[in-house]
Amino acid sequence: MDYDTLTRKAQNKGHMRILLLFTLWNFYIHGTNGIVGYDCGSANLNTTLSLLNVEDCNIPMTEPQVPKTYIQLLQLSKFESIEIKQCKVSINRFMYYCGMHSHISTVQNAQADYILDTTSSQCR
């Protein structure tokens, strides 16, 4: 055997060891179901992978076709009309006090504005 043949055999053994270690490492990781490899050097289906003669893969890129569809959603809205009667009483109040000789004056915080709530019977 010449030197080149021995070198190739040693390289093949080295590649086989790397492949074996890689395979064992993948099986050690939980959830590994298998190894998928592609050999783009041939169109035939094969079950072996060459680590020495790997050629470039020219996989054609495919553009996804996305059709545009315009739709109009028609939906009946559920509503009912009801008649409401509402009564509110607005109160604006001033407080005064009577003084001597018919004089009047306002007290502190004499003005009060508020809305008085009424019941339905008071509203009729």
The β-bridge partners of 88 are 117
Question: Helix (H, G, I), strand (E, B), or coil: what is residue 21?
Answer: helix
pLDDT of residue 123: 78
pLDDT of residue 68: 92
pLDDT of residue 38: 60
Closest C-alpha to 3, from 98, 124, 11: 11
Q: In this prediction, what percent of the chain has a pLDDT beyond 90? A: 4
Could you give the residue ranges of the DSSP H alpha helices within the chain? 3-28, 120-123
pLDDT of residue 7: 55
Note if the pTM is more than 0.95. Answer: no
∠ CA 79-83-84, nearest 5°, is 115
pLDDT of residue 96: 85
The residues of the chain scoring below 50 in pLDDT are: 32
